[in-house]
Structure 1
Amino acid sequence: MSLWSFEPEWIHLPQGRLLWCPALFRDMADGWFEHLEAEVPWQQHRLRLFGKTHDEPRLSCWMGELPYRYSGRVRQPVPWTPTVRAIRERVVQICEQDFNGVLLNLYRDGRDSMGWHADNEPELGRNPLIASVSLGAPRRFLLRHCHDGQRRQLVLGHGSLLVMAGEMQHHWQHALPKTAAATGRRINLTFRTVIHS
């Protein structure tokens, strides 16, 4: 059964669609943020680019039921924490999708970021549904079409839900750019369904 208190409206883009709910989890967001900061075993991962190894510009954690390969490495899952499990249950009911993993990112300030990429790993299937919950400081979220370069921008705020569906991951990339503006800490959870043959 869906938990929507309204009829959701999808934003239809060329070769993809988005559902953006700016304040869907506003009432739970403060408590979730506080618990996630304390519960999640945040890690500083290393990334190899152009022959050099760098610290990823954020802290992260892969949580769920199956390993997941991204950024050229296989991440082994840590068990669900109570708060992440509760958030997952809400998102599963809302999206009517049985997510079995979540990538959590902690952005400590405006210098932490995520570069251009698509969530198009083979183990996510043909047209994956990616559900993103944002908590904490608002940040700009950018989208660009892979073929014609057109762009979109959203500001993902405290308690928001963004769902990317359809062919989004084949034709669009997304990023969370650095910002020189003073900004606080932000936690993002991107729920996904990993399929292993």
Structure 2
Amino acid sequence: MKLFNIEVDATKNWLPKEGTVHYYGTLLNQREANQYLESLLDTIEWRNDEAIIFGKKIITKRKVAWYGEKPFEYTYSKTTKLALPWTEELLELKTKVEQKTGETFNSCLLNLYHNGSEGMAWHSDAEKDLKKNGAIASLSFGAERKFAFKHKITKEKVELMLEHGSLLVMKGTTQTNWLHRLPQTKLIHTPRVNLTFRTIEEINR
């Protein structure tokens, strides 16, 4: 069942306090979203993600890719990635997202979840490489998945369903005060590709 059967109010803040999250619903129609999903699966240089946890290197089933307007370095989970140059499709999508949100972005971290057994644990995107309190635009393709927020102090939770071709934006103090995750589920057997457009702050480099 679709969570959103009526027109989405993109001005609504989904967080009750200390952060801002806007959900725009589907940015692309079904045909466009299908085409982009197929293209992203085929053309992006996907690699298994790596993380250092308790001193041990972990290789994830989930795959990632890091692109940008310059060969930006981006460090998280104690590993560093070097941005690849934009593809034509990524530039097209970046333009659509910027026009819709009024924000600007210079990089994009992509995640490929092959099915519902792959997800993302609670975390916040507050790495020192990123612009502090900058907007992060999350564009989703493929399987519709639940996305959750949890306040770092009060533990309040907010959950949304992210549709195929949909756009969500986190900004302001969201990363400072809230965690987010993509829960695992046994009900999903098809892939999801997620693009998170970001801003690397060069002044701190």
With normalisation by structure 1, the TM-score equals 0.92
Residue of structure 1 in register with 2:38 after alignment = 34
What amino acid is the match of 2:29? R
1:40-89, CA deviations, whole angstroms, 9 ceiling, x for partnerless residues? 00001222212322212410000012221222122101111111111011
Offset at 1:182?
A: 3.4
> Residue 10 of structure 1 contacts residue 17 of structure 1 at CA under 8 Å; is this kept in 2?
no
1:190 aligns with 2:196: yes
Q: Which of 86, 99, 109 is the matching residue for 2:92?
A: 86
Residue of structure 2 in register with 1:107 after alignment = 113
What amino acid is the match of 1:58? R
Residue of structure 2 in register with 1:164 after alignment = 170
With normalisation by structure 2, the TM-score equals 0.88
1:180 aligns with 2:186: yes
**Aligned counterparts, 1:19-168, within 5 A:** 19-27=22-30, 28-64=32-68, 65=70, 66-168=72-174
> Residue 44 of structure 1 contacts residue 59 of structure 1 at CA under 8 Å; is this kept in 2?
yes
Offset at 1:94?
A: 1.6
Q: Secondary structure at the match of 1:178?
A: coil
- Tell me: CA distance 1:188–1:88, structure 2 relative to 1, closer, same or farther (3 Å): same
Which runs of no fewer than 5 residues in structure 2 stay unpaired? 1-7
What amino acid is the match of 2:100? I
What amino acid is the match of 1:172? W
What amino acid is the match of 2:77? S
Q: CA RMSD for the aligned pairs?
A: 1.7
Which runs of no fewer than 5 residues in structure 1 stay unpaired? 1-5
What amino acid is the match of 2:37? F
What amino acid is the match of 2:181? A
Within 1, Cα distance between the matches of 2:151 and 2:9? 27
Within 2, Cα distance between the matches of 1:133 and 1:152? 18
What amino acid is the match of 2:12? W
